[in-house]
Amino acid sequence: MTMHERVVDGDNPLLEWAMPNLIYLDAVSAVPPRPETIAAMHPYLTDAWGNPLSPHLAGDRPKEAVERARGQVAALVGAAPAEVIFTASGSEANNLAIKGLAATAAARHRRHLIVSAVEHPSVTASCRALEAQGFTTTVLPVDSTGRVDPSRLQSELTAWTAIVSIQAASSEIGTLQSIAELGSLTRRAGVPFHVDAVAAAGRIPLDMASLQADAMSLSSNQLGGPSGVGALIVRRGIRLEPLIHGGTQERGRRAGLENVPGIVGMGVAAELTRAELSSMASRVEPLMARLRDGLLMTLDGCQMTGHPTERLPGHLSLVVEFVEGEALVMALSRDGIAAAAGVTCRERTAWRASPALLALGFEQALAQGAVVFSLWRGNTQEEVDRAVPLIAQHVAHLRALSPIYAARVR
């Protein structure tokens, strides 16, 4: 299946799917790779294919490319290039942060983990794996908008706390956390603070120093880079035990031959994202307001989830009564609309009520009606205007199949 280009804002070519009528409203899962990233990757898939560690000419160009990308990714979050560790995904970055920092802390008999109730599965699963090794986990509750109370974090910090991991923003409900305040508490307590910024990077400004973060996870495909590449930024001076042992790649923090083409693509995407960051919200927020208002005015029994204002630009999360979110997403897909029914890192057959929505206090039945729409720089007003009535039609059709809804109508 081939792709073709279209032009947005005059001279900004963006890749579009071969299905020209696809309305892509799932940018929080991934965005199409930028043409510039694909062009930058090409030489490292063809002639510049050498191993960056090779002590000869074939390794020089790949090594220079990896180090250039390291600087580009570091600049996106105000870090130093030496603090960047390239990984295969944001999930791996989260695993490396939590397990790597915990292993270092365990040597000082610190075996207490703190996370929030709305973290990504890669964070919660990492904690469960550590619990099998004798760690304990405190799960911080969130309020009805999905935010952590900083005073609750402060009360849970102990002399035995190994790491605190709080996401910058939720991909499911869009809520932004007060990361700078949380980071100040952990810094004063001398506890490493990890921030999962996969959903936030490229949508809001991030600066590790002002956020007082010790580690931060990123993913390439959220920035317009290729899939299969991520990064963990670890503040200088913070010790981290590697998960993958072997060679000396990534300064000994992650062994294995680097994915040079993918890293190059992520670097270019990070640089372009940084340049466009100041205009990101102004591009997507008017369209999101149009989508939100159109759906809320058209659909009854539909409510927003997450924080009403402290949320990711271009993100809309809803629960729809008498409709299962996965059924709605699948129906929309058949009609050319891409959306999400919650966190994306699980098999399509494993859909269930979102733990994040349950943590917000939603009942199981209503939480299963979750649907997420997220916009990117390539969306248009025409797409939004086409999407609203189609979404409403599919909700009406699914409700017509529900005996519970029929009984309510009667």
Confidence check: pLDDT of 24 > 90? yes
Confidence check: pLDDT of 343 > 50? yes
Report the candidate in 329, 90, 110, 389 with the shortest Cα–Cα distance to residue 220. 90
Q: Which residue has the tokens 């794996």?
A: 129
Which tokens in the block code for residue 330? Answer: 């699948």
Average of per-residue pLDDT across 329-337: 95
Please tell me the predicted confidence (pLDDT) of residue 401: 87
Please tell me the predicted confidence (pLDDT) of residue 29: 93
Structural contact between residues 215 and 123, judged by C-beta atoms closer than 8 angstroms: no
Give residue 218's pLDDT band: very low, low, confident or very high (50, 70, 90). very high
- Asked if 4-32+278-409 and 37-271 have one fold, the answer is no
Measure the CA–CA gap between 202 and 90, rounded to whole angstroms: 14
Report the candidate in 257, 253, 256 with the shortest Cα–Cα distance to residue 241. 253
Active-site residue, selected from the candidate residues 185, 345, 358, 392: 345
CATH number for domain 4-32+278-409, candidates 2.40.40.20, 1.10.150.120, 3.90.1150.10, 3.40.630.30: 3.90.1150.10
**Percentage of the chain lying above the pLDDT 70 cut:** 91
Q: Model confidence over 61-115: pLDDT tens digits? A: 999 999 999 999 999 999 999 999 999 999 999 999 999 999 999 989 999 999 9
- Cα-Cα-Cα-Cα torsion 22, 28, 33, 37, nearest 10 degrees, comes to 160
Average of per-residue pLDDT across 270-294: 96
Average of per-residue pLDDT across 134-141: 98
DSSP 196-242: E-TTTBTTB---HHHHT-SEEEEEGGGTTS-SS-EEEEE-TT-----
**Catalytic annotation on 345?**
yes
Q: Which residue has the tokens 């943590």?
A: 359
Q: Model confidence over 29-43: pLDDT tens digits? A: 999 999 999 999 999
Average of per-residue pLDDT across 288-317: 96
Please tell me the predicted confidence (pLDDT) of residue 345: 56
**Distance, first Cα to last Cα, the chain:** 48
Average of per-residue pLDDT across 231-242: 96
Average of per-residue pLDDT across 178-182: 98
Return the DSSP state at 338. Answer: E
Give residue 407's pLDDT band: very low, low, confident or very high (50, 70, 90). low
CA distances to 14, 76, 250, 304 from 37, rounded to whole Å, are 11, 16, 22, 35
Query: Domain-by-domain residue ranges, the chain?
Result: 4-32+278-409, 37-271
Report the candidate in 92, 95, 89 with the shortest Cα–Cα distance to residue 30. 89
Measure the CA–CA gap between 162 and 127, rounded to whole angstroms: 11
Structural contact between residues 196 and 164, judged by C-beta atoms closer than 8 angstroms: no
CA distances to 94, 181, 304 from 78, rounded to whole Å, are 19, 18, 33
Q: Which CATH architecture has domain 37-271?
A: 3-Layer(aba) Sandwich (3.40)
